Amino acid sequence: MSGTEELLVEAGRLAAELDAADPPTLLDVRWRLVGPPGRDDYAAGHLPGASFVDLDTAWCGPPGPEGRHPLPAPAALQGALRAAGVRAGHPVVVYDGGDGMSAARAWWTLRWAGHPQVRLLHGGYPAWLAAGLPVSTEVPTPAEGDVTVRPGALPVLDATAAARLATGDGVLLDVRAAPRYRGEHEPVDPVAGHVPGAVNLPASGYVTDGRFPAAEVLRDRFAAAGVVDGAPVGAYCGSGVTAAQAVLALHLAGRADAALYVGSWSNWVADPQRPVARS
């Protein structure tokens, strides 16, 4: 398979895979930063056979000084994944409400946890509906999975490493909207601005409505932001969800070494001694 096929799956192909004798494990990870919880969407209709796994309580740890969406405790993540039927060596497909953000965080977390066989439904639930494929309100009872969480399979930045990357030989991408990066507007966190030295590349520069352009287009867009072959690259956002999508886009562009600053801005500003840039 190509790199794109290893990371993304279109609705029609997924439908065929789900009809096979041993289909991939299907996880509904719909989530909103504000508004009704994703579980309500799941209850109203989901892909047949999908189990719901909540971003706030499974894919991330509880909020605190490490950020609003820090790394989950390995044992807690393993328990949630096994309850959803995730098996060692068996493929997983994750999907969300269409923007691709929570699905990307689930993809990243599974990869970080040592489970490499995971793809996103490209375009999420809306793509499935647009293809005229069936939905269900039945809640499955999957057989208990046997996956073992082994953290560390993808690179992670803490605040020290992020600062070093931003002012060193690599590129630290801030993928929030430009007014937040410039410090003109901060709707969520208590301090506005950005990590000194970080380069702004809003998510709209590499993804549109949860769909990614071709790999060569992504490479050009990241190159325009200063990402060059051989130099390290990392990404952050407000709390490590949108930035996980940036890491996915970097993987699609051939940069499987891209690092995620999981705590992101919400972790950076938790320490008032850390410098803040505004421009």
pLDDT at 262: 98
Provide the pLDDT confidence category of residue 36 given band limits of 50, 70 and 90. Answer: confident
Q: Which residues are catalytic?
A: 237
How far is it, in rounded angstroms, from Cα 62 to Cα 132? Answer: 37
Strand, helix or coil at 31?
A: coil
Q: Please state, in angstroms and rounded to a whole number, the distance separating the CA atoms of residues 160 and 268.
A: 9
In the predicted model, is pLDDT for residue 35 greater than 80?
no
Residue 45 has pLDDT above 70, yes or no: yes
Please name each of the domains of the chain with its CATH number.
Answer: 3-130 (3.40.250.10), 156-268 (3.40.250.10)
Half-sphere exposure of 231 (CA within 13 A, CB side): 16
The half-sphere exposure of 6 on its side-chain side, counting CA atoms within 13 A, is 15
Whether residue 260 has pLDDT greater than 90:
yes
User: What is the average per-residue pLDDT within 127-131?
Assistant: 98
Beta-carbon contacts of 233 under 8 Å, excluding residues fewer than 6 positions away, are: 165, 170, 171, 172, 173, 222, 227, 250, 255, 257, 258, 259
pLDDT tens string 173-186: 999 999 999 999 99
Mean pLDDT, residues 39-44: 96
Confidence at 33, pLDDT banded by 50, 70, 90: confident
Provide the pLDDT for residue 2: 40
